[in-house]
Structure 1
Amino acid sequence: MMNGMRGSYTVNNGSVNGDNRVWKLVLTGGPCGGKTTAQNRLATFFESLGWVVFRVPETATVLLGGGIDFNKLSAQQVAIFQENLLKTMFQIEDTFFELADTCSRNCLVICDRGAMDCSAYLPRAEWEKILEKLHLNEVDIRDNRYDQVIHLVTAARGAEEHYTRSNNKTRSESIEQAAKMDMKVGEAWVGHPYYDVIDNTTEFETKMRKLTKAVTTKLSISGAEDWLRQDSRKLKFLVIGEIDASKFPSHRDFKVLHDYLPCIPGGPQARIRRRGRGEKWMYTHTVRRQEKGEIVETRTSITRQIYDQLLAQADTNNNFTIVKTRKCFVYNNHYFHLDIYESPLAGLMLLETYSAMSAEELSLPPFLEIQKNITGDPRYSMYNLSRKDNKDTLESLNDFAEAPSETLTEEK
């Protein structure tokens, strides 16, 4: 069924399936706004919280990938294309929407563009003809079909130096065309009750943080606020003892593997990550460097093919592969990761969270035996743990369970 159409079709509002929630999110904007990376970031975050995440592919990319050159279409052909694009989009989205309604857990459905994007590529009169022909109501398909719309402004507006067409074979817009289309697409969604615009006035990582915050705020996600505050910092603790599964809260486990790539001494560090459950994996390339005295990390989502190519170049002469299980959970409105290492230093357990509070103020999980606060201790950095020639670090941590304790007092 095509939600939003009359007759045998119905409007698909945000829904609650028993005790579970379905949230339909549209990511829109001109080309090169960060939508692909945004989908991966949201998927990582919400899957860590135990949500099911569906990612609806961009319908236009699917169709244009079949040999259609949009720039060479006549006005009549553009109208035909957009009409069929809209119908195809509804059918693809409805597949994911209906599956989401059957999920036994909360489900986030991320749509790479939505119905109103089609209107930005047509004269108003042609768009209204399509609405009439398909018996569509614009208010329904804009305001009622999706729960939230986030406009990720193209790099062509405010981050021109980062605008590229190399990461999408169907992208042909010049920087001027991209900026113009970004404004048109944004205007098409004005009126949606939950419409957010995230521009390029900050660096890209902050843009992604704002995106996640915009979604978690609308959903009132417990524990997300401290992770997404700009003044938050990572806190890290050494955990010892046995994990009592009966006392552990609801959590999600992921397998994580990190490999470092060759780098120049004193230069940027580059690594690749594979993270997933079962046979479902996500792949990331990260570059860590210093800028104006601050550490900056740039993360890019990559394909399995690129991951395999980079893995073949991993610096195995100097670095171990980091292999660990990551347990993600919420305790006392804080979102935690517990990393249990398999290699190197099997059994090493490190607890991490982001918070604007100090380590002494933070309420730590009572079901874990926290030995000490290791925030800022270079011995426990993932890079140092991976180094084969860092004998001092590895030898000093071989007996980490017997290291001098700096146990923190928990706030009740």
Structure 2
Amino acid sequence: MDQKRVYKVVLTGGPCGGKTTGQTRLCTFFENMGWKVFRVPETATVLLSGGIKFSDLTADDSFKFQENLLKTMIQIENTFFQLGESNTRNCLIICDRGAMDASAFISKEKWDLMMATNGWNNVELRDNRYNQIIHMVSAANGAEDFYSTEDHACRSEGVELARELDYKAAAAWVGHPYFDVIDNSQDFESKICRMIECICQKLGIDTGDRLRASSRKVKFLVKGPLPSDSEFPPFQDFDVVHNYLQTKAPAMQARLRKRGQKGHWSYIHTIRRPKMCGQVVEVKTQLTHRDYLNMLAQRDDAHFTIFKRRRCFLINNQYFQLDIYREPGHPRCRGLMLLETYTALSGEELKNILPHFLSIEKDVTGNPDYSMFNLSLREEWNTTGSKYCYNLHDYALAGMANGGAPLMSDKNRDVCAAKAAMPKKQLNGIEGCRIVVNDCNNIQTNGFKNGMSYPRNGVNGTINGIDNKNNASQERNGGINGGINGIAKHENGIKI
């Protein structure tokens, strides 16, 4: 049986954004799947309902209020987190706002002072504490006719102030590795469904046609030089280090990511498996520093270590990540900048949401030349037996056998690359033209069911990863993030 999962998600947003309804619907959805769901109340509402008014607070009082609010929030959340760990079922913990929301209401200087005074840091409070952040955009931004504060005893903001608070609430979370913005581009029911599906995507739960069609990741090549910092909206910069790991299964990819600011780091182990039933299975597990170092010993020498500066920013309710590749690395990465976002838009609508201050050279979505797997290869792509991956969703096409020996000739690999885009036969849920020896006509019949080999300290079964018992700030199983459109089995035999 797969290990139990505990998944912590923050629902945040400006006034009248649908957080309350979203929590209720999310709770019902996961309880129907057999999960235990905990709902952490909004700490600010609890305190403000006791008679506290911001208008009555001095500057010093306001600072102390936010500091104590954050301390209270952390303690309340920890109670629910511990209950989630001790529960026997898969557990979803929904936090009505989270630790970083407090930073939206005080200056950066005071926030930094609060962090230093209490021994906190942004990486722990933002990146390591929660698995996913969902920002529900206020109705004051895009659905003004539906904006109202009548049903909220602690809310009295006008539309303009509500927009400002909405932006601040979103900006507070810029930089979290799994941050999604749910805007008002569609009706309210669709907004709620998008929110639920967004969480299911990260968990690796297949929702079929019950919810809105998934947004996709799009990627653009950015032409240098990089604009000055003043051209950007408020942003967060991170140092990111990627290492690919050795795997025994030719159709599986494993990598480590180290991501941090000012010496504080978070660590993620990712396993990507073959395409099954039209979906890519990608499992992400949060690691402790110790586990990261242990797994780093398994790095694949066929790949360079990838060093990036990742700039995260928000424009017009669209969240972007700009990856700026750094030395050392292969010359093909020199000066490389790639912009990524998730969206359901296409054509002119997609073009209109892109940052105008960046020089977008071309759309490289799905182009294997710009996959990190290929970019990190030490060898040249046109060499005999190259591990170059022609299909981003199928690493078996990279031509790797156990130990890295090529499985097919250049000619046959080219044929496979051409066929990869064609409709494929399926057997046991695995598409044809996947593992080949001499040609593209051999279909893997085992469904890879028994062929997986996992790295030490890696994924246990299909879902859960490292048990971080020794790190209080990284709750056990707390870093598990299923890949986009993945497939996950769950406890009690429930399969979505």
Show structure 2 runs of 5+ residues with no match: 215-496
Deviations, residues 353-391 of structure 1 (Å, cap 9, x unaligned): xxxxxxxxxxxxxxxxxxxxxxxxxxxxxxxxxxxxxxx
The equivalent of 1:125 in structure 2 is: 109
| Aligned 8 A contact 1:213 1:225 in 2 | no
SS in 1 for 2:210: helix
The equivalent of 1:30 in structure 2 is: 14
**Which residue of 207, 229, 238 maps to 2:212?**
229
Shift, 1:229, TM fit: 3.1
How far apart, in 2, do the equivalents of 1:164 and 1:71 lie? 21
SS in 2 for 1:182: helix
1:91 and 2:102 matched = no
How far apart, in 2, do the equivalents of 1:71 and 1:184 lie? 19
SS in 2 for 1:157: coil
| Aligned 8 A contact 2:99 2:125 in 1 | yes
How far apart, in 1, do the equivalents of 2:156 and 2:109 lie? 26
| Aligned 8 A contact 1:25 1:111 in 2 | yes
| Aligned 8 A contact 2:6 2:84 in 1 | yes
Matches within 5 A, 1:9-408: 19-222=3-206, 224-229=207-212
How far apart, in 1, do the equivalents of 2:212 and 2:156 lie? 36
Show structure 1 runs of 5+ residues with no match: 1-16, 232-412
Shift, 1:72, TM fit: 2.8
How far apart, in 2, do the equivalents of 1:229 and 1:185 lie? 25
SS in 2 for 1:165: coil
**Which letter does structure 1 place at the counterpart of 2:209?**
D
Shift, 1:225, TM fit: 2.7
User: So what's the TM-score if we normalise by structure 1?
Assistant: 0.51
How far apart, in 1, do the equivalents of 2:121 and 2:28 lie? 35
The equivalent of 1:8 in structure 2 is: none
How far apart, in 2, do the equivalents of 1:53 and 1:207 lie? 21
SS in 1 for 2:37: strand
Shift, 1:157, TM fit: 0.4
The number of residues matched between the two structures is 214
| Aligned 8 A contact 1:30 1:181 in 2 | yes
How far apart, in 2, do the equivalents of 1:229 and 1:152 lie? 16
**Which letter does structure 2 place at the counterpart of 1:151?**
H
| Aligned 8 A contact 2:30 2:37 in 1 | yes
Q: CA RMSD in A?
A: 1.5
Shift, 1:18, TM fit: 7.0
| Aligned 8 A contact 2:190 2:212 in 1 | no
**Which letter does structure 2 place at the counterpart of 1:135?**
G
